[in-house]
Amino acid sequence: MQLPDDVKAVIDERVFVHLATLNSDGSPQVSVIWVGREGDTILFSTAEGRIKTENIRGDNRVALSFTIDGDEYKNYVMQGRVTRFEPDGWWLIDDLARKYTDADSYQWKTPGQVRVNGEITIEKIAAN
């Protein structure tokens, strides 16, 4: 699905996104994440061993929601699938840290941590 220009504009800012995944028992799990964008694809980074990482490997369906800063009554809910999810280094979290914290790189690196970078293809968007 092609993302509308207003959604792209918000994603390109420092918007904090709620990512919902499904636990193995079908119950929801929600995490706040930093996001980026490549075309119409949403990018995010997480680490091995986190609940959302295991959930996505079990079921790639996700939901995202965010509210526009300064207009708390304008929010978006998107549904989609994680179409790529691989450990491929620190490049994405470093890019996101520059966007969200103005730091040169991610400041909370821990020795031995493996970063997993994901791409989400959006299938539905609702706004109110």
Task: Please write the tens of the pLDDT for every residue from 58-80.
Answer: 999 999 999 988 888 889 999 99
| Rg of the chain (C-alpha set) | 14
Neighbours of 95 (CB within 10 A): 17
Q: How far apart are CA 46 and CA 114, in angstroms?
A: 9
User: How far are the Cα atoms of 8, 22, 23, 91, 124 from residue 3, in angstroms, in the given order?
Assistant: 6, 24, 27, 24, 10
Check pLDDT > 90 for residue 54: yes
Q: How far apart are CA 123 and CA 23, in angstroms?
A: 21
Q: Is the pTM of this model over 0.95?
A: no
CATH number assigned to the domain covering 5-127 = 2.30.110.10
